[in-house]
Structure 1
Amino acid sequence: MSTTLLLQPPTNSSPQTAFTLSQQAKSFFTAQATWLSALPYPLNLFVNTESQEKWATYENIFLACLRTGDNDSAHRALEELTARFGKVNERVLALQGLYQEATAKTQQDLEEVMMQYDVILKDDPTAFAIRKRRAALLRSVGKQTEAIADLIKLLDASPTDAEAWAELADMYLGQGMFEQAVYCLEEVLLVMPNAWNMHARLGEVLFLSANNMEAGREQLKTLSESMRRYCRSVELCDDYLRGYYGVKVTTGRLLEVLEGVKKPQQSAADPTTGDLAPPSLPTVKKLNELATSKLAEIMRRGSAGDKNWDGYSQAELTAVRSLLDGDTQKIER
């Protein structure tokens, strides 16, 4: 089993990776149980099996098995984690709750899990992992308002929790509350200023917000900021498909908007609010051409499976092809 696969953060794992990992779970458990006992005495006394990587592997296997429906293997991994860290460990309690949520068969089962979370939080209001699970469960059953309130309570106590800010931004976005979602993502970037994926996510939210505005100066400012966020994401991570896709889309929209904006307004900045001047038309055109060229290269080399270019999913490459084909059709017309 690949070490990289075992230690890959589960939130970044594709469905295929999760399936592969879960398929190899039983052999992993067998290897863990037998390799130490195979060493002769007294060598086995000098071997330390404790490591951060080992328990990260168990947790990744647990999550992968839950995703693929292998509840038996997930339970075995959970038992190992519980035996090592104890039943009252906050992270173990959160994983136990996740297991119960995933294996719940009725609404009543989910309500019982919720009551368990309430009991834990009553005894320890600072159990952030449990509060996050409670918010996730509330969201999954459609109680968005309560989930948002839970995360706000968590962030009042721990304002530097980037994961909670990102989740709250996603919930606000689902409610169409763009301004609040933007604020939350800006808080994420205060904690993690070099997180290129969060810059791109903020660019997405700003772009969606601009599309819901009437044509005018405010829309132009929002579109410009969206483009800058995408540019920052590809500056931090070269060959970032999502970033270049965003640059392509936002610059295409900006080209349409800038043509209808008078030149004096287009070049003016607002020093009272710290707003930057909108980009010039030549700059936007150059960025659009750069994004087009880069996306074409990613699609060509990713589809061919070139070395170091095989990290893109087929869905991503298909989306790029569709975007570039649509651009070609516009030019032909």
Structure 2
Amino acid sequence: MVTKLDETELKRLESQVEHGGGGAWEYLCLVRKLKIRRSDKVLKHGLLILNDPKKRSSIGDEEWTLYEQVAIAAMDCNSLDTARDCINVLSKKFPESKRVGRLEAMLLEAKGCWEEAENAYSSLLEDNPLDQVVHKRKVAMAKAEGDLLKAIECLSKYLKVFMADNDAWRELAEIYVSLQMYKQAAFCYEELILAQPTVPVYHLAYADVLYTLGGLENIQTAKKYYAATIDFTGGKNTRALYGVCLCTAAIGQLAKGRNKDDKEGELHTLAAKVLEKDYKYRAPDKLPLLTSTLKTLKLSS
């Protein structure tokens, strides 16, 4: 996780390097350490070091790490000739390296040689089935080709091995939602909530999916997760507040007066009041529209 201290140091170094104040190597190391993308700047300042024999020799064996970093940045920037040059240098130095093989497969992918890249990635996985980067590249490639069903297949295989990868679960959930496969998306969000029960965005997304699925039981559960989101965010999540109101209205229609809970009534009344107060302060011109909407839902305070 990138902390505020990291961001401050990154901005300081970035400004220093961009204005000719030196520190390019320290900047490149920090970008790599924080695992963030600054591809255009990495390409620019990385090449300045690699193309200067004196600067290159000053970083010792880290030279090869920089070649890899610049190669990836070059692919991001569509400077494929530069990427090829960097990979060639690495290939000569490490002729049997699977890591270099991965870069070569990524270059094929960047060129749009999908079949060749697929074969290269599959070969790498045969040698090392636990290579997370290669698994994720296959997912990215499937998405780039527009084959979301294949992306689902790749992610599902990956998650059978790396079940604790929350980012992968979230990506899979979002693909399912885009394909309107809401039951499958709900399962993914359940896994995320089990793994990180206090992350509000997972509760909110799960509630959205359940509300979309519909049915009394799903909507009642969705309301609980919208309420949890409100709790985790200190009552400041507008989408969750709306969710409580919408769920209350839907439950009223579906339940037709059955199982009425006074506490549930208090919740939606409070949510409506918070929404009205928020709109009055932040968007007074839209307050009449909100009031009208809440009256339609029979939830106006």
Q: Could you say which TM-score interval applies, normalised by the shorter chain?
A: 0.5 to 0.7
Q: Does 2:255 align with 1:258?
A: yes
Residues 25 and 61, structure 1, Cα contact 8 Å, conserved in 2: no
Q: Are the aligned partners of 1:7 and 1:57 in contact in 2 as well (CA < 8 Å)?
A: no
What is the CA-CA distance between 1:140 and the residue it aligns to? 3.5
Structure 1 position 76 matched with structure 2 position 44 = yes
Q: Distance in 1 between matches of 2:45 and 2:120?
A: 21
Question: Deviation of residue 144 (structure 1)?
Answer: 1.4
**Residue 224 and residue 55 in structure 1: after superposition, are their counterparts in 2 closer, same or farther (change >3 A)?**
same
C-alpha separation in 1, matches of 2:120 and 2:230: 44
Task: Note the alpha carbon deviations across 1:189-229, whole angstroms, 9 max, x for none.
Answer: 1111111110000000000111xxxxxxxx21111100001
Q: Structure 1 residues 321 and 136 mapped into 2: Cα distance closer, same or farther (>3 Å)? A: farther
SS at match of 1:59: coil
Q: Which has the larger radius of gyration?
A: 2
Q: Which residue among 219, 227, 232 is the counterpart of 1:231?
A: 227
Distance 1:54 1:170, change over 3 A: closer
Corresponding residue number in structure 2 for 1:30: 18
Indicate the residue corresponding to 1:192 in structure 2: 196
Q: C-alpha displacement at 1:158, in angstroms? A: 0.6
Q: Residues 287-298 of structure 1: matches in 2 within 5 Å? A: 287-298=267-278
CA offsets 1:129-168 (integer angstroms, 9 cap, x no match): 3422331331232211110110011101111111111111
Q: TM-score, normalised by structure 1?
A: 0.60
Match runs of 1:160-199 below 5 Å: 160-199=164-203
Q: Deviation digits for residues 240-262 of structure 1, max 9, x if unmatched?
A: 222222222212222222226xx
Q: Would the alpha carbon gap of residues 138 and 284 (structure 1) be closer, same or farther in structure 2, given more than 3 Å must change?
A: same
Kept after mapping to 1: 8 A contact 2:246/2:297: no
Q: Quickly say closer, same or farther: Cα 1:194–1:85, change in 2 above 3 A.
A: farther
Please list every run of 5 or more consecutive structure 2 residues that lacks an aligned counterpart in the other structure.
50-61, 81-106
Aligned mate of 2:131, from 112, 119, 127: 127
Query: What is the alpha-carbon root mean square deviation over aligned residues?
Result: 4.5
Higher helix proportion (structure 1 or 2)? 2
**Structure 1 residues 1-333: aligned runs within 5 Å:** 7=7, 27=15, 29-31=17-19, 34=21, 49=26, 55=32, 59-62=36-39, 72-73=40-41, 75-76=43-44, 85-86=65-66, 109=112, 111=114, 117-118=121-122, 120-210=124-214, 219-238=215-234, 239-259=236-256, 263=258, 266=259, 280-303=260-283, 323-328=290-295
Q: Verify the 8 A CA contact 1:94 1:133 in the aligned structure 2.
A: no
* Cα contact 1:172–1:180 (8 A) shared by 2: yes
What is the CA–CA distance in structure 2 between the aligned matches of 1:76 and 1:97, rounded to whole Å? 13
Conserved? CA contact 2:42–2:73, under 8 Å: no
Q: Count residues with an aligned counterpart.
A: 255
Percent of pairs identical after alignment? 20
Question: 2:279 and 2:167 mapped to 1: Cα distance?
Answer: 31
Quote the offset at 1:297 in angstroms.
2.7
Distance change >3 Å, CA 241–CA 114, structure 1 → 2: farther
Alignment gaps of 5+ in structure 1: 9-20, 38-47, 63-71, 211-218, 267-279, 305-316
Equivalent residue letter for 1:138: A
2:200–2:232 contact (8 Å) kept in structure 1:
yes
* Cα separation, 2, equivalents of 1:327 and 1:126: 52
